[in-house]
Amino acid sequence: MAGTGCGVGQASPPVTGGEAQKGAGIRFRSVAAAAAALVAAGAGVWLAAGEGRQAAGAWVAQRMPPVAGSQSPVASFPVAGRQSPVEVIQSWGSRGLEVPESLPGTLRMTGGRIKARLAPGVEMILFGPFEMEVKSPKEAKLLSGRLVADIPAERGGFTLRTPDLEMWDYGAVFCASATDEGSDIFVFKGEAQVVEACGEPVDICRAGEGARARRDGSGAVKVEAEVWPHAAGMLARVEKTGAAKDPADALQVAARISDEWARLRMPEEAWRISERHRLAAALQSSADSAQFSKEPWVRPTASAYQEEHSMRKGSVAAVAAASALITGVGASSGSSLPLRIDTSPVHNLNWSTLFDNEVPLQWEWPDGAASATLTVTGMRGSFVTNFPPETTGCVWSPFAAAVPREEEVYELTLSFFDSGENEVETLDAKLAAVAGAFGAVEVDTGLSDRRWGKVKTNAVIPYDAAWAEATADAAASRIVIEKAGGAAQEYLTGDASGYFGWKLLNSGWGYGVFALTLDFPGFDGAWEATLEYIPGGTILKVR
C-alpha cells in the first residue's frame, strides 16, 4: 500500500508469514498461539482478547502513522493444554497455577498475579497465594487471597463470598481479601450489597465504603473513607489511574483506609493492626532469603514460572515442528538452523522492545463489538484511530524514519464498543524504542567519563528484578522520583521488568536535583540514582 495513512479503507495487502517476521508483532490471542508464531516469525508480541471471532481468510491490514512528535505483552494462558471455563487472560510471574476443568471447580495459585475472566465482562485480578471456588460464571467464593474486580453495570449481579462476608454487586469496581484474621471488601465505584456469612445485613456499600469482618467475635462493620481526612486524595489517585490498571495500589489504598477507620472508630482493632504490622516486619527480617547485593550474578536454574511456561510453549513448538514435517515443509532436512526463542516474558525485555519500524498489530473481535478505537500514547505525543469490524489488523510505524530519533515508551490501548457506544472490552500493551535495538551504540565504561550520565530530553529507564538475586522472584516493581525541595511521585509498574518512560520536557517537573529509587515490593534492597536536570542537558550520577 502506498502512503502511510491509517484511515479506514486504506488497507495494505494481507500480512504473510514472511512479512510478519519484521519487528515486534502484537496480536490479541492466546500465548499458545503466540509461541507457535514466535517459532515461525522469530519475534512477536501478542495481546489477548479472549473469546473473539477469527476473521475468515487472511487478516485485513491497515498502515498507521508514527505517534505525533516522534503493563509487556498481554497473553491468554491455557493451562496444561486443557480447556477451562475460567480463562486466564494475563499472568505476571504466576506460580503453581491451577484452573478448574469444569464448574463448580477451584482456581488457585501459590504466587504471582493473574487476570482471569469468568464470563464475558466478569474479569478480576487475583494475587497469589489464593484459592477461590468458582461456583458459576457469576458466583465465586474467595477462600483466601486478594482480588480486584471490575464488573460493568450491564454485567451486574455477580456474587462473591468469603468465609466471613457475602456481597453481590449491581455493577462495581471493588476489591476483596480473605486471611486467617477475617475478610475485607471495599468498593471504589458503583455499589454492592454486603451481608455477613450468617446472613446478618451489613449495608449497601458505595464508592469509598466497604465492610470488614474479624473472627474474634466482633462481627462485621461498615467502613467509610470519609472518616479519615487523607482518604479522599488516595481514592482520587485510584480513580485517576483505574483500580484494574494498578490493582496493587488499589488494594493498598483499601487496606490503609480500612485500617485508619478501625484505628479511629475501634481502639481495640487499632492495637491488633499495630501488632500485625510488627509481626509481619519481624517475620520478614528473619526470613531465610538472599541478601540484597548489586554484584553481578547468574540465575543457576530457571524459576518454576519459567519452567512451567517453557514446557507449555515447548509443547506447542514441538507440535508445530511435527506438523511441518508431516505436511512436507522443510522435508529435505530433519533439522533447522538454531533460532533464538524467548520463552519467558517475566525477565525478558525483548518482549517489550521494538526492533523495527513496521509493527504488525492483530486482534480478534469480541462478541457484540461494532467498532474499535486504538490509542497510542508516547512521551512526545499520541494519536487515536478507529476500526470497523472487518478490520483485524494494521501495520504501525512508530517513528518517521527507519530508526527512532529519540528513545521512547509507547502505551497502546485497544477498546471495543458495541453499537450503542458502550465499552465491551479494553486491551493494552507497552513497547519501548531504545537506541541499542537498532544498531551499535557507544558504551562508556568508566564512571569518570562525563558522558556517562548525560541526557538532554525525556528519559527511558529500564528496570528488572533479576538484576539482583535477592529480588529475582519479584512480580512487580516500583519507581519513586523525588525532587529536592519539591514534589515526589511513586510509580507502580505492575511487572518485574520493562521500561519506564519519565517525561521531563514540558511536564511540570522543572529543573533541579532528583533522587530516583527502584525497588520491588515485598523484597529487600533498592537501586538509587541522583539526577540533575539543568538547562541544555542532564547529568546523571548513579551509585
Distances (CA, A) of 129 to 145, 174, 298, 456: 6, 19, 27, 44
Q: Torsion-angle region of residue 305: left (phi > 0), alpha (psi -120 to 50) or beta?
A: alpha
Asked if 65 and 96 sit in the same domain, the reply is no
Q: What is the mean pLDDT of the chain?
A: 74
What 3 state SS string does 443-503 have? CCCCCCCHHHHEECCCEEEEEEHHHCHHHCCCCCCEEEEEECCCCEEEEECCCCEEEEEEC
| Residue 59 belongs to a domain | yes
Distances (CA, A) of 403 to 3, 383, 397, 483, 496: 18, 20, 10, 33, 27
| Residue 385 belongs to a domain | yes
Asked if 469 and 370 sit in the same domain, the reply is no
173: pLDDT strictly greater than 90: yes
Are residues 416 and 366 in contact, defined by beta-carbon separation less than 8 angstroms? yes
CATH number at residue 122: 2.60.120.1440
Which is more confidently placed, 422 or 61?
Answer: 422
Please give the grid coordinates belonging to residue 256: 490503609
259: pLDDT strictly greater than 50: yes
Rounded to 10 degrees, what is the CA torsion of 127, 131, 134, 140?
A: -70
Give every CB contact of residue 428 below 8 A, 6+ residues apart in sequence: 47, 71, 74, 411, 412, 413, 414
Are residues 434 and 472 in contact, defined by beta-carbon separation less than 8 angstroms? no
Identify the pLDDT of residue 252: 92
Domain of residue 533 covers 450-542
Which is more confidently placed, 187 or 274?
Answer: 187
Angle, CA 409 vertex, CA 483 and CA 423 arms, to 5°: 105
Asked if 250 and 109 sit in the same domain, the reply is yes
Asked if 367 and 241 sit in the same domain, the reply is no
Identify the pLDDT of residue 267: 57
Residue 331's pLDDT band (cuts 50, 70, 90): very low
Asked if 163 and 238 sit in the same domain, the reply is yes
267: exposed, middle or buried (Cβ count in 10 Å: 0-12, 13-18, 19+): exposed
Q: 56-70, 173-187, 352-366, 517-531 — which one is most confidently predicted on average?
A: 173-187
Q: What is the mean pLDDT of residues 299-315?
A: 44
Q: Which of 244, 265, 286 is the last residue of a domain?
A: 265
340: pLDDT strictly greater than 70: no
Which is more confidently placed, 422 or 300?
Answer: 422
User: How many C-beta atoms lie closer than 10 Å to residue 140's C-beta?
Assistant: 27
Q: What is the mean pLDDT of residues 251-277?
A: 74
| Residue 357 belongs to a domain | yes
CA–CA separation, 156 and 151 (whole Å): 6
Residue 155's pLDDT band (cuts 50, 70, 90): low
| Residue 196 belongs to a domain | yes
What 3 state SS string does 42-55 have? CCECCECCCCEECC
Asked if 127 and 189 sit in the same domain, the reply is yes
27: pLDDT strictly greater than 90: no
